[in-house]
A and B are shown apart, each in its own frame.
Chain A
Amino acid sequence: MSSAPQPAEDTSLRILELAGNLKIRDVMTRKVFAVTRTCTMRDVQVIMKSNAINGVPVMDDKYLIGFISVHDIMNAFEQGWMQDPVTKHMTTGVHTLSEEQPLSFAMSAFSKFPYRRFPVVNRHNELTGIITLRNINMALIQELSRQLNVIETEGGRITPAATSENCIFYRIYRIARYDFESGGKASAELREQLQARGVAPKIIRRAAVACYELEINIIAHSYGGTLTIYVDRDRVRITANDFGPGIPDIDQAMSEGYSTASDWIRSQGFGAGMGLPNTKRLSDEFVIQSGVDMGTMVKSVVYLNPQEKPSDENK
């Protein structure tokens, strides 16, 4: 667990949460300079120089087969390989990220692996972009400058005006590993907020229990993370983001009775393997994404007016 990618300081948690609402495809560079397997190391060097870039993917049609970095070019210079085809010296088995993943996964990947850039692929495994730390920094600065002032002055409570005019409640909770003491803080507050709005008790229970399950999941099964609650007139949206260890087999994790909980967690009455299936059953919309060593993101949406289908904004 000590090797897990974790943010160095507490403040990073909030930054990760800011990133949690962004996906990799929102911040990646889409314009990618790539070469085919017939190109030489010299061709790559020219492309790098004229476009001021440090890494060039090697492609067969739309599929990534390797990667050439500045380091590979320097090696080729030294060894006199500049006329060789790229396939001879490229790095193969390149670690890619998926464009659908939350940005926080990319941040974990950068802290876990020594690479400076990751090729990004879509669900068909076709290369669609490249992500570097610079992309992430720019995205975070934009997001931070939009929200940081409000967050600091309101202690995490972002005023509705800061997000959307429909927003009724928006709060980010930091949740620590094994902090069962604090379990239920977010769900208790969500329940109070919904009660104050006169939401039907059955719907309050669904939203609050889903929220509680996600809180306990972060406490019992992750290295820590954040939970964000967003309420507008139509829906409650609960987003849980953690920093790993990630779920190797999501279908298994979603099946009732499967649990990786320790005896101690079980002795606390948790770890029955019902948390995720419960949450899904209670949710009108449910999304889970996980990357091993990167983290897990779960989004649960509960409609406040189930007979009306909410409008699509603020999803």
Chain B
Amino acid sequence: MKINELKFPGLECVQPASGDVEITGGYTSDLLSDVMAHLKEGDALITIQAHKNTIAVASLTGASAVILCHGRTASSDTLAAAAKENIAVFVSSGSQYETTCALAKCLGA
């Protein structure tokens, strides 16, 4: 599924990314080391960590997008880093569980 097709209730795109990025799966974790060890390329990273290092980790691991849960807002420097790395950032009003389920539904998993 293409990143610009990603839609579910409570989801808002706060930083778009250019290009045809494909979301192939998801990984839900707030521990960035765990993300680095286990996120597969193309996964969307579902997390509550809204700071700049999340973008660095997403970029290093080849995440297709970052989805921040519980309506957490990303600071301007986080969004600037995301723009620089061309990583889409979404904010979801739901919990990690609800967001993960919604993404899975979108992906038909």
- Which residue numbers of A lie inside 8 Å of B, CB to CB? 180-181, 183-184, 187-188, 191, 201, 205, 208-209, 212-213, 216, 268-270, 272-275, 278, 281
Contact = CB atoms under 8 A, between A and B. Distances in A.
A212 B36 contact: yes
B62 A269 contact: no
B34 to A, nearest CB: 6
Contact of A212 (B30, B31, B34, B60): B60
Interface of B: 30-34, 36-37, 41, 47, 49, 51-54, 56-57, 59-62, 77
Contact of A184 (B49, B53, B77): B53
B36 A213 contact: yes
A272 B41 contact: no
Nearest to A190: B60
B36 A209 contact: yes
Contacts of B34: 272, 274
Contacts of B62: 201, 205
Contacts of A216: 32, 53
Contact of B41 (A188, A201, A212): A201
Nearest to B59: A188
Given A274-B33, A274-B37, A205 B53 contact: no
Given A209-B36, A269-B32, A272-B34, A187 B41 contact: no
| Chain A residues touching B, majority SS | helix
Given A272-B34, A278-B33, A209 B56 contact: no
Nearest to A210: B36
B60 A209 contact: yes
Minimum-distance CB pairs A-B, first 4: A184-B56, A274-B33, A269-B32, A272-B31
Nearest to B56: A184
Q: Which of B37, B41, B47 has the most CB of A within 10 A?
A: B37
A299 B59 CA distance: 23
A275 B53 CA distance: 15
A209 B59 CA distance: 10
B51 A268 contact: yes
Contacts of B36: 209, 212-213, 278
Contact of A269 (B31, B59, B61, B77): B31
A205 B61 contact: yes
A256 to B, nearest CB: 9
B33 A275 contact: yes
9 contacts: A181-B52, A183-B53, A184-B60, A191-B59, A205-B60, A208-B60, A209-B61, A272-B32, A281-B37
A278 B12 CA distance: 33
Given A205-B62, A268-B49, A269-B30, A212 B37 contact: no
Contacts of A188: 56, 59-60
A208 B85 CA distance: 15
Contacts of B77: 181
A79 to B, nearest CB: 60
Nearest to A212: B60
Contacts of A270: 31-33, 53
